Amino acid sequence: MTSPFFPVTYSTLACDALVSRILPHFQIKDITHCKLWHRGLSDVYLVETAVQSFVLRVSHAHWRTKSEIDFELELLVFLQQRDIPVARPLHTLDGQLSIEIAAPEGKRYAALFDFAPGQVPLGDLSHTQGQKLGETIGRLHQVATDFHSQAHRQPLTLDYLLDDSLDAIAPFLQHRPQDREYLIEIISEIKNKLQGMPKDPPFWSVCWGDPHSGNVHFTDDNQVTLFDFDQCGYGWRAFELAKFLHVSARTGMQKKVRNSFLEGYQTVQAVTPKEEDSIQPFSQAAHIWQWSIGLKSAKVHDNCRLDDSYFSQRIQQLKMLSSPEWELF
């Protein structure tokens, strides 16, 4: 018998239903508002009570498995217990970190977090904030070497960052054979440059995966809280540094602030010359990985922006990251 409901790829869950059916599983009372706050790789809802605010994140069915989500949430609990300032996931009344939702498109998972105090830094990071963020990520990498989970999470290896990303991007470049060949060549060059990077502590740890000023809140006295660990996984700490530099340079952050981030990091962990040499190729890998993630998201939400100018811009940015002036990107 044919289902009475038409198949869907993505649904927006009703706030009233989340309040009545999901939030009672957590020990929060007197909810005054629940509203869809942001649609990204997950749906983010702002939940307000009479005394405090929370963030409810609902995964997309096409994006994360329960095991991957479990890894992330367990990591956040681990980090919070070791005094790394992260937005804490809350346990349900029966001790779980997520709740399964049977959405029309498939299983989705809801997790509730404390609202990070403060706000995204206005006008981007100051020198002091850049240094503070670098120090915090340095501490995160230190303690995360002791994290272990039974949940599976894809490590941030070169095969994953580059080869899997090429598989996602290449079909869109069939009518641009020169760009496709350039992408294949640059991936080969990156892998050659990064051959032999050590996969043991302290060089290999659990990475945040998406370190940038939009994923942190600072209070008025510059106390920092990190959030959005959706892209976390075991990886090279040098890749984490390169990912920050890639995003911050792309958004126009001043070089002196980017330098203050590196200085802050190195007050906690020294970066070796080999790691310094790896930052440029890792920034290229970060660009390619982020490009593939964007494509996967766009296929669900907004194919309209995947025009020739989109791909021309991404290729041009990659070429700039390959040049001697890459830090000006």
- Which residue, among 203, 202, 200, 192, has the nearest Cα to 284 in the 3D structure? 192
Per-residue pLDDT averaged across 278-285, rounded? 96
Q: Residue 104 above 50 pLDDT?
A: yes
Q: pLDDT class for 1, splitting at 50, 70, 90?
A: low
- H/E segment holding residue 278: helix 273-301
Contacts of 271 (CB under 8 A, 6+ apart): 238, 241, 262, 265
Question: Which residues on adjacent β-strands are paired with residue 114?
Answer: 54
Q: Residue 329 above 50 pLDDT?
A: no
- Residue carrying structure tokens 């075991």: 234
Q: Would you state the structure tokens that stand for residue 134, as one six-digit string?
A: 């670098």
Top-confidence residue, 327 or 78? 78
The pLDDT assigned to 326 comes to 63
The pLDDT assigned to 327 comes to 60
- Which residue, among 161, 149, 173, 160, has the nearest Cα to 77 in the 3D structure? 149
Per-residue pLDDT averaged across 28-42, rounded? 94
* Cα 11 from Cα 13, distance rounded (Å): 6
Residues 156 and 241: beta-carbon distance below 8 Å: no
pLDDT (tens digit per residue) in 46-89:
999 999 999 999 999 989 999 999 999 999 999 999 999 999 99
End-to-end Cα spacing for the chain: 56
Q: Residue 197 above 80 pLDDT?
A: yes
Percent of the chain residues topping a pLDDT of 90: 85
The pLDDT assigned to 118 comes to 96
Three-state secondary-structure class, residue 46: strand
pLDDT (tens digit per residue) in 218-261:
999 999 999 999 999 999 999 999 999 988 877 888 889 999 99
* Cα 319 from Cα 268, distance rounded (Å): 33
Top-confidence residue, 272 or 3? 272
Q: Does residue 104 have a cis bond before it (omega within 30 degrees)? A: no
pLDDT (tens digit per residue) in 158-174:
999 999 999 999 999 99
Residue 198 burial (CB count, 10 A): 13
The pLDDT assigned to 56 comes to 98
